[in-house]
Structure 1
Amino acid sequence: MAAGPLDDAERFARLRLARTERVGPVSFRQLLQRYGSAVRALDALPGLMAKGGKGGDIPSLDRIATEMDAGARVGAALVVLGDAAYPPRLAAVDPPPPVLWTRGNVALLSRESVAIVGARIASAGGQRIARGLADSLGRSGFVVVSGLARGIDAAAHAGALDTGTVAVLGGGVDDVYPPDNAGLYADIVEKGCIVSESPVGHRAQARDFPRRNRIISGLSRGVIVVEAEIRSGSLITASLAAEQGRDVFAVPGSPLDPRSKGPNDLLRQGAILCEGVDDVIRAFETLRSLAEPPPDPFDIPPEDVDLEVLDRVAALLSPTPTPRDELARACGLPIQVVAAALLDLSLSGRATLLPGGLATD
């Protein structure tokens, strides 16, 4: 990636690259690695997309300018991967979101944070616990991150309003959902920070929430689950947190309450018992906390990969995610060449890149 501050043209290009068809977070990062800037990557994209594939849609300059204007109208600030304001803990996620829209105090995104998540239809006791934990964490110097949903999320935000809270949305930063949280949303804009990787004006759909949950855990040093049924988005957030190397905490509850089954099951799987803020602080002091992963050792060559190599790698792909080092062994090619081939195949619609160096057809 390009080093140093990003100029306006590069920031605009990074937003445009992030909104390009078939360019997900994995290929976004690899394109920056290969070409050094989004400006040069966009110049190369038409040829890469057409090579042995079906082509793809690069958004027009006007379309990206419209998104920028929409952000300005609601008072939102754009943060792209590589910006000084991009939260360092989230940048260490594999792969990080390419762009973020924010409203409020962007500096909160880079402070030490703890997420509190849980049931939308939460008990009065669960909401009291969430609010109390958020208040105590804030007084201990932590920002509290959650998803602005009803129940536990709303209670956590309310408890940390005066000390710092971040709400991560599935829709755009102007998508106030649920509507009855409009007052809380306004308070967070004034005192905290709203963040989303979705375009301004986008209304949240079901597919947006796993991405939202990944940012909640990615911003945080640990995730606390207060109440959650076995099949719930809160447990997805906890699973993502574990994958990202975050500490997972669970507040125990009565086995008679279905909302306690999720946290109790997490405890059976090795989550850290959380009965108060002291449990969180003690865990951070005694357990190995998140360390940034080592840089990707597989440089992506800037030169084109010929069609014969593309076909060899494509023939080895299947619906089952396959590590790129396994593909390199199978086709007898250097792993750097295979990584480059996978990037080209993904851009031409012949492969899908997944986190952790995996790929499918």
Structure 2
Amino acid sequence: MKASHTIHPVFDDCNLVSAAGLVPVLQLAESAGLSEVLGRLTVESPNAAAKTTCLLSGMLAGADSIDDMDLLRHGGMPALFTGVRAPSTLGTFLRLFTHGHVRQLDAAGTRLLARLADRVPGLIGGHDDPDALAFIDVDDSVHQVHGYAKQAAGFGSTGVRGLNMQIAVTSTPVSAPVITAARLRKGNTASASGSAGMLADAISASKRDGAIGQILVRADSAYYRRDFTAFTSRRKAEHVDCRLVVRRVKRLQSRAADHAGQGELFAAYRHHAFITNGTLPVVEADQRHRGHAIIEQVHAELKNGPLAHLPSGVYTANAAWVAIAVIGFNLARAASVAAGMATARWATLQARIIGVSARIARTGRRLMLHLPTYWPWMSGWNLLWHSTTGPPGPHRV
């Protein structure tokens, strides 16, 4: 492939947009009641729902900072979307959030996810089967920050100065994970701190989303904070009979060639231990437990997307940014399922569906979007378009 030598770039087209896929994605959100759930925000700012939608749209288009919200202000975007605000306005809006307003955003995201599960039946796969198994994975991650003006930043167990984000994701054997609860915390917060309340929220949200079968909660060793005999330090009503499973796994990685340092006594094998109150056979229980690694994919998608930066020095503004990013993640997951790409990651959706350029043409009272000929993922784009503009499917009882 070789670039032509006769190219002359000119930025002069007022009918061109670079993120035409935002149209069906936001239509999907509106069909699930986005404006209604955001209309309950009590932030002391005019048009709070519209400004929140601007932040959400920018994140879906690839923004990971306040300045990147200018992605929404170019070419023919004003013809497709109304109420687009300047980045400085959105930054001021975020700084008006209090902890109570952030909790309102969390509640709005939970309600929207339940409605998206109704609008896109495959979002929580297997929800019609009462014997189906759903998994809730909980874990935290440190988001590194720089500068001394970041409120609540601190050094956690990783030795990195940042803010700690804890999330709970729900998945099934036939569906990709969605985020059912999330919290931004101080950087030096212990992993398991507040996990009981967050898991209660995640379980309630998962049941509202359609997980009517058995729910299995998975977490790593940082979330086990009692004596080794499981939970006997709690009151008797909270005792749980668990079993300890230790598997001997053969080492596949070769040892260092220089044999530096003191060698291991039994270097040919490693031992993997976990506790469970399930009744599955040992091998199957181990396989189920190892599936907990799926939450690392979610953390990676967030860090490679809108949470690459926490944009403000104000803690509550960053907490609001995280809450909006969680809404964006779940909306992107629903759009991927509707486009026939159920396992696609957020970056894949941006590249194939959202980030496609289009030219706007006006005919009568309608706007026509002229998309690229032979776009490789045209079928997925059309599938998403027809699923969002068509009538909703039957609602769950």
Q: Which TM class, normalised by the smaller chain length? A: under 0.3
Q: Which has the higher strand share?
A: 2
Which protein shows a greater Rg? Answer: 2
TM-score (norm 2): 0.23
**TM-score calculated relative to the size of structure 1:** 0.24
Please state which structure has a larger fraction of its residues in helix. 1
The structure whose RCO (Cα within 8 Å, separation 6+) is larger is 2
